[in-house]
Structure 1
């Protein structure tokens, strides 16, 4: 069997005047498939373009929405940032104001503290100057007390100041001379022709300074013995020179110009005090001397009052006489006032009757009334009698004046 020969150019059918072969069909099919493929590709591209357009639109919408949100967020963030900036500015301003006020207060407090510090420094400088001046004075006082003559002048000047401040001039004498030639530092005159009181202002200070400046107990004991001996000698000299029978008081004062020395003597040297008392010499400090001067001043004042007692009694007698005359005149004046009061009462009675009569005349209540008779009590007095009574009263008052 022979194989059938197939050719693509062999027409299969006649399409009008155009023969159609298998090749043509295949070509047409291929073209159709290609066209379908192209159309499918175009459709796919169109679909993809639409999808892309939708995506672009969605992206544009999302971008627009994002831009709106970004703008809203920008506005919100701008407002928040403005509020934050304003809040920060207010806080910074408040902090700046508080810091400025605090710095001002601190500055004022610092200036005030500096001013007070300067005042205190000025006070300290003044006190330091006073201390330096006092140190100089103490050095001068030490130099004075180291010299016996100047020390005696210092004690005497202090005693003289106390006496002169407390007693009147003429009641005392400094450096008076006694009958035995002794010259006490002060003599105070006593009232009622009593002997004067003698005061001695010399005090043995060398042994006292040695005892105070002693470096050891042995040196101090030796200085204490020397001081005790000097005090006993001085007390004996005062008793022998200044206690003169009938010329001076039986007691003399030994003036110690320091309260501390006076206290030390009475505390540690009781034997010296007792011996001075036995010899009628009283050791006195400035305060005790001032007290004694005040007592003497009171005694002098009492004596002067007693001396003037007879003058006071005479003045009292004359005062009583004046009081008696005053009492007599007051009693006379009281009698005159009583008589004047009686006359005034009579005048008031007559005036009252005249007033009532005038009231009746005003109301035209006239009636025939017999003339009133003059009674013993002065009722119904006429105007002439009233004038006469008043004139007598004036004359009486004038006579009494």
Structure 2
């Protein structure tokens, strides 16, 4: 018998009815060790396969990343080329647009300058005519002053009846001729009823003409003065009655002969060639003045006639100025139409510029996004550990998309839009 065998058969402990010997314990330990060895080998083989798979996947990811980086680089170079082409096109279009705008502005400036020069010439001519009229007024004022110095000699001039009539006519003609243009009056004109007034003033805007009569009856007035100098009350009374009668007859003659409805004004002038006689009539013969007013006859002295002529001259000048103003308003209206068209075209041009600026801003925004996405791609750590590789494989991978319209758009998806 082997001496070791009793040792293996020696019981160690008892489990119920079963006795566990040393041999049983050794067999159980050997089996456990074998199982552990098998498990260890399986674990080592599984770890080796896992590392091999991870290495293969890492290599595949690296190759895919390199391919994508090459594609991104190609797309970026193509985008840069297209951006350069777009910049050239925009530069050429902007140059053409600037040239067209410059040409149109030059043409508009030329037209405006020509119109303004024409207006300046017309204004200069109007001012020159106004200066001439002011010179005529200054001449008339000088004539008034000279006439004031000659009033003292009026009695001697009026001594003869023929000389008196010629003097009154000449004084009236001088005042009218100095104050009005040649076409605005007519001496000894013939009316439709055959009568011929001393002067006929043509009124503007088709209005009836104004009649001026210079045949003032001074014989009775001279008789009144002579009776006063001789201190004869009876003769002075008779001369006064004759003067009133002659004035009434003359007023009636002017009213019946020269006041024609639709052809002459409703009022006529009776010219008195002396300021002193005019003042005496208004002071001592108020009834004659009122009778003349009722007959629509106005008694005027040289100064009043000159003032009336100046008023008529102002009316004529105003009519001419209104004609010129109508022409100026027409030119200004056409100028405003041109300015309106210019404003409309400039606004359209501004709209085109605004649209072009918006397109450029959108392009710059796209390029900025592309640049940022490229920087993110460059910052990726390729070939990282298992956790990084698994996260890179979870779907957060860069993608390249090209639009159907032909223009390339680069979009990198890394977990956010």
**TM-score normalised to structure 1 length:** 0.46
Q: Which has the larger radius of gyration?
A: 1
TM-score, normalized by length of structure 2? 0.45
